[in-house]
Chain A
Amino acid sequence: MVFIAANHWLPVTRCRTFPMLKKALAKSPELALTAILCLPLAACGGWQSALNGHGPEAERLAKLFWFFTAVCGVVWLLVILALGWALFRRTPRTSAPDDPVLIDPGNERRSAVAVWALTAASVVVLVVFTLVSFFASRGLNAASANTLNIEVTGYQWWWQVRYLDPNPSLTFITANEIHVPVGRSVKVSLVAGDVIHSFWVPNLAGKLDLIPGQTNELTFAANRPGVYRGQCAEFCGLQHAFMGFRVIAEPERDFAAWRDKQIQPALQSDDDLVRNGERVFLNNGCILCHTIRSTSAGGRAGPDLTHVGSRSAIAADTLPNTLGYMAGWIADPQAIKPGNYMPSIPLNGGDLNALVHYLKALK
């Protein structure tokens, strides 16, 4: 619940109720109240919803959706009314009672005119749909002058995020959490690290696939500060369900502050527990897969952990980033995300405690 409070100023309210969190809620009335206040917003699908646009792309797509829905709704209603009329009309049938072959030519003519007219009307609707759709897509993906460039690489089952800049010293790598400045357009270059994934933050833009052998580019912007959830939308194997990420839109100043911190190498601490945790990290195989800049850890198979303590969630937005969840994740990642590529490394309680304190200290 801590990280919700930290983001209390965000317009998109989130109330993540992890099973263990539920128990905590039962014990704490204030938290329970907060959660109840959150519920209606969560129920409308707030922070991962295509109908709740918080950027020009998503807003335009939502408008397009409602236009299509309105027209289709009217068309469906007309078809059903016509069907009902055909079935229940009271007009006496002119043909002889028991002869299906005798047809009233007048009725046939009227029917023919009606079918022609309805076909013509369908053509008009479909032409309008095609044109509206075409012009709606032309306005999307417009980059502006000071576009922020990010490269996102999809792996089974997490996201590597690389902030690009002409100045190499401003380029850095993080994972599963994308910070963007409000109002600035963001161009995301999408690359597949293994199989096909799909990058989708419905509140901000439509989805685009990450495909081996090609780079796709998606441009979007956030109108308002907020936390928006994204999720892999193309089936990518066992843990496709838990390949989430967050886009955190914040004012330009906050974003700059965040970026300055991310560019820094990992913090060195004087705290004994934290230093002990670093030793555990460096001596137990973690470094084979993870990078922590300024240490000897340079593995590339898993997320960069240089500033893992600053992130709001771990395991690709599967668990909140607290000491407890971090410890649970390291102790038995296969129980939380069965089939993921992080092995369980046997650690004694003291080492595990030190390790999670170290990781949490990597702000």
Chain B
Amino acid sequence: MTAMDHADYPRDTNLDDTELSRRLTRLWASPKGLIGFLSTTDHKVVGRRYIVTAFVFLVLAGLNAVVMRLQLAQPDNDLVGPKLYNELFTVHGTTMMFLFAVPVMEAVAVYLVPLMVGTRNIAFPRLNAFSYWLYVAGGAMLWIAFLVGAAPDKGWFSYAPLSETQYSPGKGVDIWAQMITFTEVSALAVSVEIICTVFKQRAPGMSLDRIPIFVWAMLATSFMVLFALPAIMLASTGLILDRLVNTHFFDTLGGDALLWQHLFWFFGHPEVYLVFLPATGMVSAIIAPFARRPIFGYLAIVLSIIGNAILSFGLWVHHMFATGLPELGASFFTASSMVIGITSGIQIFCWIATLWGGRPVFKTPLLFVLGFIVIFVIGGLSGLMIASVPLDTQVHDTYFIVAHFHYVLIGGGVFPLLGAIYYWFPKITGRMMSEPIGRWHFWLAFIGMNLAFFPMHLLGLWGMPRRVYTYPADMGWGTTNLIVTIGAAIFALSFLVFFWNVLVSFRSGRLASANPWGAGTLEWATSSPPPPYNFLRQPFVTSREPLWTERGVLPVAEGLRVDRRELILSSVVDGDPIQIETSPEPSIWPFLAAIATTVFFIGSIFTPWAVVWGTPPIAVTLIGWFWPKGSKEEVD
């Protein structure tokens, strides 16, 4: 901490709390006005926007699902035709995976990770703002296309050659592929920020074995993004090139249709774990305070998370068991798919052990965690069934699979997320959510989800393929589909209850203290909601649950300047403070760069020349973004 030797700058050391708070607020607050709104680099503001936007996409994609369920409620139905139905399931899947499930986990991380590791802002906050605007632009493009009737209709994995120009004229598939490009860039940006925040910005004393498990989960997830997304980037770019400039990556004129599937699923399988790993981190974060004890098997859980992150890259072929692969090769992927059951099982055993050794407090967040275990274990076990090559040849591409992945994604993703919202809502808004409404929400969601998705297992076994816009009455699927639709309606109703709870609680919920649940991790050490500077004084960490071990007053590190945005950088392994770094000021340039990038991406759907005229504006905005200002942060 060499900079601390100088005494000629104002520092937090000699200021009382009121004065320090006043000066830090002035220093870290987001600027006012429209320009200020677009310029903010506060991870909490960006994180909130990210979370809200992701839930907007959840609602939109949920409405897709409602229409699909109405269509399938009875046989030979003609509520929607094949074209619209195919658009509905394509936009539903694409939105849920690319615009809701993965981004919402990143969104929660953008908000929480800096608080949990005890720093004042996320690493590369301008990149963070940029990633948010790009995400919004990509999602808006897809949905505007859907509303004007130019939506993709080839499913969320757009298999070639069906997605090639010959079988998919129009711009739908291009919009789909380019939407992926938007979310790729945005997800890669967030991952880089989280990795750097976790590795370099942890509070002094937070060695690797004191990192909260949610942060571990996000770290592992971020590394997965770095390795998984290049595969889909390659695939979607190849597809766009095939369609735009007649290359032959995946068509039948020299390309390879199966190559698309390999590339897509090399990304697509880890994609599921991009949702699941953060969710398990949330579960671990919630279980500890509600079991009133530290998590059991911290090391085992962390190793399982890392194990899952690595193993998830070795499973992609189990999406392709019906493509006629050599038997031995396919069986290898059966074995690897089984292995991931072990690392997932260990986490579940540790959570049960935590509850067993604790004193469970049955509040809504814990209810959702318990619901998660009940539902997710079903999804995990049906996952073992489809990991078997011969069994999968019967259930692949049927409603059994639809049932399976909704059990995994809703059970393993949405339930923990909803628990997390109930758990962290007081931190984010300063108000508690209603417990009674929360219970109604939970039971409706739990019953609706199971009623909607469990019968789908049977439909699949009775021969109903997925992605059919209707079915003849004599197939005998009508009654079961009606039950499914009723379940879906109850599940949709549960979300109405949830949003009602959010609105009511946001306006008039009980005020939350800094640590309303009596939890042990750092995000609860600051007020609810946190001030723009997160922590008045830099916390110093001595254990995994500092708020439990320190009982009240946390030790703090002092000496940070209060006239410029300063952060402490620490060593990767031990969390020793090694350096002071400045955090960037708010800037409008990331927003402008996002607009320029959007014009470039969307332009290239229509003409390859967009690559030529679209790049100079991006260069200009990037130059503006990185222009050395000669400001006080550069002087010394």
Contact = CB atoms under 8 A, between A and B. Distances in A.
Interface of A: 14-19, 42-46, 48-51, 58, 60-61, 64-65, 68-69, 72, 75-76, 79-80, 82-83, 85-87, 89, 93, 95, 99-101, 103-104, 107-108, 111-112, 114-115, 118-119, 122-123, 126-127, 129-130, 132-134, 136-138, 140, 156, 190, 194-196, 198, 200, 202, 205-209, 211-214, 216-217, 229, 231-241, 338-339
B2 interface: no
Interface string B83-104: 1001000000000000000000
A23 to B, nearest CB: 13
Interface in B450-490: 460-463, 465-477, 479
Contacts of A112: 297
A50 B356 contact: no
Given A231-B463, A241-B471, A209 B370 contact: no
Contacts, number: 268
A104 B292 CA distance: 13
A230 B335 CA distance: 30
24 contacts: A17-B474, A50-B462, A65-B394, A68-B388, A76-B378, A100-B288, A100-B292, A100-B294, A107-B357, A108-B357, A111-B356, A115-B353, A119-B346, A119-B349, A122-B341, A123-B342, A127-B338, A129-B384, A137-B327, A211-B257, A234-B322, A237-B86, A241-B468, A241-B469
A138 B373 CA distance: 35
B355 A87 contact: yes
Interface in B384-413: 384-385, 387-398
B476 A45 contact: yes
Given A45-B462, A137-B331, A241 B155 contact: no
Contact of B391 (A68, A196, A213): A68
A45 B458 CA distance: 9
A38 to B, nearest CB: 8
Contact of B474 (A16, A75, A100, A195): A16
Given A87-B360, A238-B82, A101 B472 contact: no
B184 to A, nearest CB: 24
Contacts of A195: 159, 161-162, 167
Contacts of B463: 45, 48-50, 202, 229, 231
A251 B35 CA distance: 80
Nearest to A121: B345
B439 interface: no
Given A79-B373, A103-B357, A209-B322, A115 B350 contact: yes
B381 A75 contact: yes
Given A50-B395, A101-B545, A241-B82, A118 B349 contact: yes
B342 A126 contact: yes
Nearest to A122: B345
Interface residues on B, range: 35 or more
B520 interface: yes
A50 B461 contact: yes
Nearest to A43: B476
Nearest to A35: B474
A115 B545 contact: no
Given A50-B463, A129-B388, A133-B389, A207 B397 contact: yes
Contact of A338 (B83, B154, B162): B83
Which 4 A/B pairs are nearest by Cβ-Cβ distance?
A206-B393, A45-B462, A48-B463, A241-B468
B355 A83 contact: yes
B323 interface: yes
A18 B75 CA distance: 10
B353 to A, nearest CB: 4
A212 B162 contact: no
B471 A51 contact: no
Nearest to A238: B82
Interface string B38-60: 00000000000000000000000
A240 B518 CA distance: 55
**Chain B interface mostly:** helix
B509 to A, nearest CB: 25
A118 B296 CA distance: 15
A83 B352 contact: yes
A75 B341 CA distance: 12
B347 to A, nearest CB: 10
Interface string B514-531: 000010100000000000
B582 interface: no
Interface string B315-327: 0000000111001
Given A111-B296, A232-B465, 18 more contacts: A17-B473, A18-B474, A45-B476, A50-B461, A64-B388, A68-B385, A68-B391, A79-B352, A86-B353, A86-B355, A86-B356, A100-B548, A119-B349, A126-B339, A211-B323, A234-B397, A235-B466, A240-B468
A271 B338 CA distance: 66
B63 interface: no
Contacts of A61: 390-391, 393-394
Contacts of A126: 338-339, 341-342, 384
A213 B348 CA distance: 44
Contact of B467 (A60, A137, A140, A240): A240
Contacts of A93: 358-359
B263 to A, nearest CB: 15
Contacts of A239: 82
B396 A119 contact: no
A100 B395 contact: no
A8 B587 CA distance: 78
B296 A137 contact: no
A104 B294 CA distance: 12
Nearest to A85: B356
Contacts of A202: 394, 463
A233 B397 contact: yes
A327 to B, nearest CB: 20
A18 B472 contact: yes
A115 B395 CA distance: 32
B619 interface: no
Interface string B326-341: 0100110011001101
B393 A114 contact: no
